[in-house]
């Protein structure tokens, strides 16, 4: 496939109905090089894990928390009330290609789930670093997606789950690698192999 700019690739992967998306991850070549740099290690345990150790949906200013900020960012024709909660708009979920008109049908997915991060190195982080990870608007970590699709993903890595929409698999792998690389998280062998295979679809 001919190389696309990062912005163009983001639009193709996001889908025709998308108004916006998270900041796009690096291209395939960079993703491959960064995947090779990630430490390969068996996942750690869930001992001590609690979602509350990753304070999320924090205040982002203007009465908006992180979830509401992503809903405004990634929706089309979004209007909000004085509390920043959307009162109208539409949201395209790149994971499955569905479009929704109620914010209650949308989950904000952590590309690398909080529990997955815990098992991959975040158990040793400070609370402030875990908070930054859980509310990261500057990377491809947070995605507005169909709620039940996000729930089917849970805390699984790409060796165990990929989005049902195959056209998004390349973007998914690039985003996953970007987040793990940014935060110095580890990958296990099956996860690394799965990510390499997904990049082959780019």
Q: What is the pLDDT of residue 21?
A: 85
pLDDT over 70 at 6, yes or no: no
pLDDT digits (tens, 9 = 90+) for 12-66: 444 444 446 899 999 999 999 999 999 999 999 999 999 999 999 999 999 999 9
Confidence of residue 141 (pLDDT cuts 50, 70, 90): very high
Domain with 171 in it: 6-199
Q: Which two tokens stand for residue 190?
A: 């099956």
Domain count, the chain: 1
pLDDT digits (tens, 9 = 90+) for 59-101: 999 999 999 999 999 999 999 999 999 999 999 999 999 999 9
Cβ-based neighbours of 107, under 8 Å, separated by 6 or more: 144, 145, 146, 147, 150, 151
Query: In this structure, is residue 115 part of a structural domain?
Result: yes
Query: In this structure, is residue 185 part of a structural domain?
Result: yes
Q: What is the pLDDT of residue 20?
A: 64
| pTM greater than 0.85 (yes/no) | yes
Give exposure, 68-88, as e/b (b: 16+ Cβ within 10 Å): bbbbbebbeebebeeebebee
């Amino acid at each position: 496939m001919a190389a696309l700019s990062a912005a163009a690739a983001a639009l193709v992967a996001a889908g025709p109905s998308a108004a916006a998306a998270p900041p796009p991850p690096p291209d395939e070549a960079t993703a491959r090089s960064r995947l090779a740099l990630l430490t390969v290690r068996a996942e750690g345990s869930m001992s001590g894990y609690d979602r509350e150790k990753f304070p999320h949906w924090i205040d982002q200013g203007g009465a908006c928390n992180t979830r509401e900020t992503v809903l405004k960012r990634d929706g089309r024709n979004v209007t909000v009330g004085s509390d920043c909660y959307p009162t109208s708009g539409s949201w395209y979920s790149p994971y499955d290609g569905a479009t929704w008109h109620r914010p209650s049908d949308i989950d904000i997915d952590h590309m690398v789930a909080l529990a997955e991060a815990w098992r991959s190195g975040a158990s040793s982080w400070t609370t402030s670093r875990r908070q930054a990870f859980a509310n990261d608007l500057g990377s491809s970590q947070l995605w507005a997606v169909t709620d039940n699709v996000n729930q089917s993903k849970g805390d699984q890595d790409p060796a165990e789950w990929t989005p049902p929409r195959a056209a998004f698999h390349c973007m998914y792998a690039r985003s996953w690698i970007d987040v793990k690389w940014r935060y110095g998280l580890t990958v296990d062998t099956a996860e690394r192999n799965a990510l390499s295979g997904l990049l082959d679809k780019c």
